[in-house]
């Protein structure tokens, strides 16, 4: 379609040839869209470019969807849109509490998914990634759209009328507000003082920027234009399920697939027997290679599950679905699927052995989420085979599984949960998880969870934790000073919370002597290293 051509239809879901995206769906210029784009530029500058921490970015993630709603011409809400809003709110709360780079990345992805869903599209992960790459080209199309609209004298007149609809009421309201202020000397003094500060602040803001900041404004404006542009994925006419073949024909690879399933069923059965005999229902001797079985072993078993998922997906598609012997092949697939689920339990058991040995860590949480993603993906394959869904149906949903689990990891206070678990184990008389406190960093709110160990019966652990908290309290003081210097965008609630809680323990200075602290730390690290 040429730039100057009139659109063939105003329906973005229309299916005329090559009408994947209808960029000229609405030719009038909307002043609220322009205002929303300008506000997005200002918001991005204040909360991203001039920000010193994650709280600024959290504010951007919270307010930018509102501006997108204001600027968009046609909105199509769905359950997915509402769910994305809830996910964004939870994530912004986590960023304000204690932000991470992972949380910022996930928030950016959620923002684009939200904008994509407002166009009437379901936010499948691969389509959202495509949309993110197309936002800048969409911005160019939107500029072409503006050019076409402003080249039309009628469009200019409509724009002027819309502008006057806002400007005239604003000017009249301003005139009467000034009159009422002038009628009261106290209000005059108050208004003049605040107006002067406001004008000086605006002046400093406008005339204290670099060329880099100017280009940042341009990038945000261009991206905002792309977010306002219509981009609709045409609805597929193909059903998500495949229809059972009316004509049954033997598949050339049926025997190969059948023999393969027989072989893997026998191999999996033999390995599961070996796994149970070697790792279940036994006491592990001193020097047992926990790390090898948990890290390397569990990773390879997880890989085996992923390969099984791929093989099942590839077998049950194409001409094999029209083979009259398909029910027999499905029966073998169900047997192998059961073995795969037993293998998944074996992986969970290996991770449990490692956690039981010396406690929980971030990476063990990642391992649990990873095997869970593989298991859910495998269950989706079983569902696909049982319900005759197409391969494209499977891929779309399998990509959502790891994405959601990454989001879950980003919003969950992992350090708090793992530290509480380790502390409970230590207080129950098992000192091994103390090694995780010694060798792994933790978030500020997790430090507060260590306070119960100040009453631990084990003197080495008790004194070591006290010494650790002294060091961390000093770091918290430095962080708070840095936050105060950098302004509200650097504010992190978790640091304030931890400082307030740990400050209570500073009321007994004789327990926090420097030499005692150094000696206690050395003894603590040497003591817990036996469980490393």
Higher pLDDT, 507 or 147: 147
Cβ atoms of residues 339 and 364 within 8 Å: no
Q: What is the pLDDT of residue 89?
A: 96
- How far apart CA 421 and CA 355 sit, in angstroms, is 10
Q: To the nearest whole number, what is the mean pLDDT of the chain?
A: 81
DSSP annotation string for 38-59: HHHHHHHIIIIIT--SHHHHHH
- How far apart CA 435 and CA 518 sit, in angstroms, is 18
Q: What is the pLDDT of residue 18?
A: 39
Burial class (CB in 10 A: 0-12, 13-18, 19+), 443: buried
Q: Residue length, the chain?
A: 532
Cα distances (Å, whole numbers) of residue 446 to 92, 139, 421, 481, 499: 19, 44, 11, 20, 12
In this model, does residue 145 exceed pLDDT 80? Answer: no
**Most confident listed range (93-102, 115-124, 496-505, 520-529):** 93-102
In this model, does residue 416 exceed pLDDT 90? Answer: yes
Cβ atoms of residues 22 and 7 within 8 Å: yes
Angle at Cα 308 formed by Cα 403 and Cα 258, nearest 5°? 145
Q: Which of 371, 337, 350, 370 is nearest to 276 (CA)?
A: 350
Q: What is the pLDDT of residue 20?
A: 43
**Most confident listed range (51-65, 212-226, 245-259, 457-471):** 51-65
Q: What is the pLDDT of residue 24?
A: 43
- How far apart CA 393 and CA 75 sit, in angstroms, is 26
**Looking at residues 217-221, what average pLDDT do you find?**
89
In this model, does residue 289 exceed pLDDT 60? Answer: no
User: b/e for 473-484, b at 16 or more Cβ within 10 A?
Assistant: beebeebbeebe
- How far apart CA 464 and CA 413 sit, in angstroms, is 24
- In this predicted model, what pLDDT tens digit does every residue of 167-195 receive, in sequence order? 777 778 777 777 776 677 766 677 776 76
Give helix 493-503 / helix 79-98 axis angle, nearest 10°.
40
Q: Where are the alpha helices (DSSP H) in 118-152?
A: 125-150
In this model, does residue 25 exceed pLDDT 60? Answer: no
Burial class (CB in 10 A: 0-12, 13-18, 19+), 453: buried
- How far apart CA 491 and CA 462 sit, in angstroms, is 31
Poorest-pLDDT segment among 190-199, 301-310, 452-461, 487-496 = 190-199
Q: What is the pLDDT of residue 318?
A: 75
Residue 299 phi/psi, 5-degree rounding, is -65, -40
- In this predicted model, what pLDDT tens digit does every residue of 424-470 receive, in sequence order? 999 999 999 999 998 888 999 999 999 999 888 999 998 899 888 88
Name the band, by pLDDT with cuts 50, 70 and 90, for residue 1: very low
**Most confident listed range (56-70, 268-282, 372-386):** 56-70
């Amino acid at each position: 379609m040429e730039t100057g051509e009139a659109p063939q239809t105003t329906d973005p879901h229309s299916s005329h040839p090559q009408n994947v995206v209808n960029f000229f769906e609405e030719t009038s210029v909307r002043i609220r869209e322009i205002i929303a784009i300008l506000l997005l530029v200002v918001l991005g500058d204040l909360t991203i470019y001039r920000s010193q921490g994650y709280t600024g970015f959290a504010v951007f993630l919270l307010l930018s969807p509102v501006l997108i709603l204001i600027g968009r011409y046609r909105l199509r809400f769905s359950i997915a849109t509402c769910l994305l809003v809830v996910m964004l709110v939870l994530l912004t709360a986590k960023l304000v509490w204690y932000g991470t780079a992972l949380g910022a990345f996930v928030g950016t992805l959620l923002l684009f998914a939200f904008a994509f869903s407002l166009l009437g599209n379901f936010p499948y992960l691969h389509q959202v990634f495509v949309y993110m790459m197309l936002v800048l080209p969409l911005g160019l199309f939107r500029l072409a759209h503006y050019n076409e609209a402003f080249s039309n004298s009628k469009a200019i007149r409509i724009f002027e009328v819309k502008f006057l609809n806002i400007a005239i009421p604003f000017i009249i309201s301003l005139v009467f507000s000034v009159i009422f202020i002038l009628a009261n000397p106290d209000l005059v003094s108050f208004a003049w003082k605040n107006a002067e500060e406001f004008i000086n602040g605006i002046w400093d803001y406008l005339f204290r920027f670099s060329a880099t900041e100017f280009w940042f404004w341009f990038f945000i404006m261009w991206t905002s234009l792309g977010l306002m542009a219509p981009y609709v994925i045409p609805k597929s006419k193909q059903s998500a399920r495949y229809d059972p073949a009316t004509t049954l024909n033997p598949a050339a690879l049926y025997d190969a697939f059948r023999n393969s399933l027989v072989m893997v069923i026998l191999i999996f059965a033999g390995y599961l027997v070996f796994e149970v005999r070697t790792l279940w229902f036994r006491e592990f001797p001193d020097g047992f290679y926990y790390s090898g079985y948990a890290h390397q072993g569990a990773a390879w078993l997880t890989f085996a599950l992923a390969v099984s998922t791929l093989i099942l997906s590839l077998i049950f598609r194409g001409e094999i679905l029209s083979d009259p012997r398909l029910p027999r092949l499905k029966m073998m697939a169900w047997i192998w699927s059961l073995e795969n689920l037993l293998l998944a339990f074996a992986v969970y058991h290996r991770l449990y052995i490692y956690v039981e040995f010396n406690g929980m860590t971030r990476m063990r949480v990642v391992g649990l989420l990873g095997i869970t993603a593989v298991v859910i993906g495998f269950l989706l394959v079983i569902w696909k085979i049982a319900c005759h869904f197409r391969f494209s149906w499977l891929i779309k949903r399998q990509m959502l599984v790891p994405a959601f689990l990454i989001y879950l990891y980003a919003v969950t206070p992992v350090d708090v949960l793992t530290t509480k678990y380790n502390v409970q184990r230590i207080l129950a008389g098992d000192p091994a998880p103390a090694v995780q406190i010694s060798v792994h960093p933790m978030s500020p709110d997790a430090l507060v969870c260590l306070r119960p160990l100040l009453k631990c019966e084990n003197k080495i652990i008790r004194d070591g934790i006290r010494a650790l908290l002294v060091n961390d309290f000093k770091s918290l003081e430095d962080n708070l000073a840095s936050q105060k210097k950098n302004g509200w965008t650097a504010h992190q609630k978790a640091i304030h919370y931890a400082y307030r809680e740990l400050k209570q323990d500073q009321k007994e200075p004789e327990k926090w002597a420097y030499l005692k602290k150094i000696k206690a730390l050395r003894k603590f690290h040497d003591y817990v290293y036996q469980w490393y």
